[in-house]
Structure 1
């Protein structure tokens, strides 16, 4: 091990090569699965004579594949830790834990997004061909769903956040990480919702008829006012604070926690 036990770019390059050589079969199989599933959709539309006329009609499939495929792939990033022998070999490789973490991070972010979007674009070309065959007109390529002004950019911020959550889950759980992480997310959301409801009861008491129907930490409805209902909404400053934390703080914090969880495995 070199003097720098945190990050050495030459050593990082060697470990990245080792990782890709050791995992190329599973990565190739995953890439072919993505291509196959995305190509299956236009093929099915061709067989059922149900080809779309606009790109926005099938954008939901794109988002579903982005989230489901990306998060499933991320949850398997540290599956070797679930096996005692493989986990020990992984931890004892002559590279720092940060270099191992950074390699996995790059593969599950840049690597997956690159492969997925190449496959999605290939499927788009096939879909356009299907539209020509069935409707004798090209598919209307309307990129309106990518317009930042309409808030679609937040879908990608949501993906980055969930990637951080599932990467932490991959380090923490190892075996069945996808399911365990999903259950943990639901439990955390349930606890936060109950905590919010408790605060509503404490602050407003009987003045709120349906404390379970309020928007957690954002909006509370109470009895009173002209229409027998008063609505209390958080300030615009707090809304911007929530948005800033969600976009730029939560994911880096979770990535950092995941890294230190990986370092704890050395002990």
Structure 2
């Protein structure tokens, strides 16, 4: 078998995945719609009294996206935990690149599209209900989202983070045969704690007399006069370095996790 990516084999593997798991995917889609409807009814309709803000719906959307997404991603390679199914999947005539793309497609890309479609349908239904039955003839009001405000800035960053976290949980599902969601979450918490600790210690050791300012750029300030904090010496990254570092921090995580998964998948044995 040619190990180079073949779109014919890839499409066949995607069809095979759908034929074998279509009932599960359809049931999961209905469950997502039901859980989103329940969450919106409880946290947006019943808990509001006179002000229905559309931006709160998108915060519910993001919360559910990360919770449901990580659970679904942690099931990406769950079949490898079963000897019979795992051997059948590993010996299927397709490269591990095509197998990784198939799993990523179903457990990240397709999940995101289905979840977003369910949310938009639920949002349309509940907003229409609120406008017609709660707000009509009363002092209650519906506040549309302001995309130029906080949500417009947060949403793209959160979607990039979602892609990275999905890739991490796919990797965890390949490493851990059982309880991959719990184990991956614990590993992520430990790594995040170690990273924060090391950064904080490095800052204390190398920049003990400087203040850290976080904005559009990372800036270190040394105040020479404690009585006048308006006068200080500033150190910051150049725009090219700062923009490059920002792009790497935003976009590098998912490719790194997927690359590790690719190597691990090529070495996987049952």
TM-score by length of 2: 0.81
CA contact (8 A) 2:40 2:60 kept: no
Q: Report the Cα distance in structure 2 between the residues aligned to 1:68 and 1:21, rounded to whole angstroms.
A: 26
Q: Report the Cα distance in structure 2 between the residues aligned to 1:183 and 1:204, rounded to whole angstroms.
A: 31
3-state DSSP class of the match of 1:174? coil
Determine which of 247, 253, 258 is the counterpart of 1:255: 258
3-state DSSP class of the match of 2:52? coil
CA contact (8 A) 1:146 1:152 kept: no
**Pair 1:101-2:100 in alignment:** yes
Determine which of 158, 167, 174 is the counterpart of 1:164: 167
- Aligned-pair CA distance for 1:147: 7.8
Q: Report the Cα distance in structure 2 between the residues aligned to 1:75 and 1:99, rounded to whole angstroms.
A: 19
- Aligned-pair CA distance for 1:101: 0.9
3-state DSSP class of the match of 2:4? coil
3-state DSSP class of the match of 1:77? coil
Give 5+ residue unaligned stretches, structure 1: none
Change (3 A) 1:240 1:170: same
Give 5+ residue unaligned stretches, structure 2: none
What is the match of residue 55 of structure 1?
Answer: 54
Determine which of 203, 206, 210 is the counterpart of 1:203: 206
Q: Deviations over 1:151-187 (max 9, x none)?
A: 5321111112212222221222232111111111111
What is the match of residue 28 of structure 2?
Answer: 30
Change (3 A) 1:36 1:196: same
Q: Report the Cα distance in structure 2 between the residues aligned to 1:92 and 1:235, rounded to whole angstroms.
A: 50
What is the match of residue 84 of structure 1?
Answer: 83
CA contact (8 A) 1:160 1:251 kept: yes
Change (3 A) 1:42 1:226: closer
Q: Report the Cα distance in structure 2 between the residues aligned to 1:201 and 1:34, rounded to whole angstroms.
A: 46
CA contact (8 A) 2:4 2:95 kept: yes
Change (3 A) 1:51 1:109: farther
What is the match of residue 235 of structure 1?
Answer: 237
- Tell which deviates more after alignment, 27-36 or 244-253: 244-253
- Aligned-pair CA distance for 1:59: 1.9
CA contact (8 A) 1:42 1:51 kept: no
Q: Deviations over 1:222-267 (max 9, x none)?
A: 8864259879764254532331102232221221111111111048
TM-score by length of 1: 0.82
Counterparts of 1:76-225 in structure 2, within 5 Å, are 76-131=75-130, 132-136=132-136, 139-144=142-147, 150-204=153-207, 207=209, 225=225
Change (3 A) 1:72 1:234: farther
- Aligned-pair CA distance for 1:109: 2.5
Higher share in helix: 1
Determine which of 12, 15, 19 is the counterpart of 2:13: 15
Change (3 A) 1:30 1:50: farther
After superposition, the CA RMSD in angstroms is 3.2
Q: Report the Cα distance in structure 1 between the residues aligned to 2:235 and 2:163, rounded to whole angstroms.
A: 27
**Pair 1:265-2:263 in alignment:** no
